[in-house]
Amino acid sequence: MTACDTIYPSDRVTLREVGLRDGLQLAKALPSTKAKRDWLAAEARAGVRHFEIGSFLPAARFPQFAHLPEMIAGCEALNLHSAALTLNDRGAEAALQTAVRELVCVVSSTEAHSQANARRSRDEAVALVSRIVALRDAQAPGKLVNAGLAMAFGCSLAGTVSPDEVLRLAEACLAAGADIVGIADTVGFAGPRAVGDLCARMEKLCGPRPFIIHLHDTRGMGIANAAAALDNGARVIDASLGGLGGCPFAPGATGNVVFEDIVFLAETMGFATGIDLDGLKAARAIAEAAMPGEPFHGALHRAGAPPNLTWRADAR
């Protein structure tokens, strides 16, 4: 059993809270470090174990991630699995000096987006994954390397994205030594059929290893897409509390798929998440208080779960 199997067991569903990273990317009202740690602790009490908490970028230019060391310490204090973006060699080198447990690399699915977003080709992005894996092997073999494929279901620059291309890049990332690969509907172009089809192919490619599905709810398809992903072998889902995180390409759009709603979805489908909805409510209250004016979404929060646990598949 590898470290990855322990952290993302293939026989159950794992939900990754990405609100403290992706959710803050475009936020106007930034929470204090204390508020972020309180939010983290509250969500941990609700049963969440996996957190993406920031990005190894210069703090001066990216104040939303300035307190990454404190957030890593917060995760360690509670024995949570922490992950953070490492978008270049310097970021990876910095990450390896910390207790962060997972380094997240991003590879664009299209050449156009790769050049526009990271000023490198996709091949160069895969080569960076390779270098980060080598660094990790040498310096901190217990950490995971995660490679996320952005724009895997359509690209705001290139339009249609070929699933074959995504699969090719996923295979290249695995060959480069990534422990886990993710596919992201970065701009919310996908419907459930496309998500289901690509997940089925990813499951075949990854074999016993899990893969991650990262969804944005830009066009309201987020939950349907997550259901299709679960139906087709995805066992790790990114989400953010209250759907925090906008999309620069779709003003007013919701961000990541709503964490609370994903918990409800998974439980209705018979996947026990180990996460308590009332506990998420408490975490949300902390995050909302810390980010006044920031829109929080989610239907389950508004309506509450149906009474009597009739909705849990295992209670039926």
Per CB under 8 A, residues contacting its own copies are 154, 156, 159-160, 187-194, 217-221, 223-224, 226-228, 247, 250, 252-254, 258, 261, 264-265, 267-270, 298-300, 302-308, 310-311, 313, 316
Q: Would you say 39 or 264 has its CB closer to its own copies?
A: 264
Q: Provide the Cα torsion 247, 248, 252, 255; round to 10°.
A: 10
Smallest distance from its own copies to CB 71, Å: 28
Question: In this complex, which beta carbon is closest to its own copies, that of residue 274 or of residue 306?
Answer: 306
- Supply φ then ψ for residue 197, to 5 degrees: -60, -45
For residue 306, give the DSSP letter.
Answer: P
Smallest gap from residue 2 Cβ to its own copies (A): 31
Q: Show the tokens assigned to 308.
A: 């009597």
Three-class DSSP category at 19: coil
Start-to-end Cα distance in the chain = 34
Q: How far apart are CA 130 and CA 177, in angstroms?
A: 6
| Closer residue to its own copies, CB minimum distance, 226 or 287 | 226
User: Which CB atom, from 58 or from 304, has the smaller least distance to its own copies?
Assistant: 304
How distant, in Å, are the alpha carbons of 115, 130, 198, 248, 305 from that of 158? Answer: 11, 26, 18, 16, 40
Contact predicate 217/256, CB 8 Å:
yes
Q: Residue 263 CB, nearest distance to its own copies (Å)?
A: 11
With a CB cutoff of 8 Å and minimum separation 6, the contacts of 52 are 16, 17, 18, 20, 21, 22, 83, 84, 85, 104, 238
- Of 213 and 247, nearer to its own copies (C-beta) is 247
When the beta carbons of 42 and 221 are compared against its own copies, the nearer one is 221
CB of 120 to its own copies, least distance (A): 25
Compute the least distance from the CB of residue 160 to its own copies, in Å: 4
Nearer to its own copies, 103 or 161 (CB): 161
- Distance in Å, CB of 54 to its own copies, minimum: 27
CA torsion angle for 259, 16, 113, 149 (degrees, to 10)?
-130
Shortest Cβ distance from residue 27 to its own copies (Å)? 18
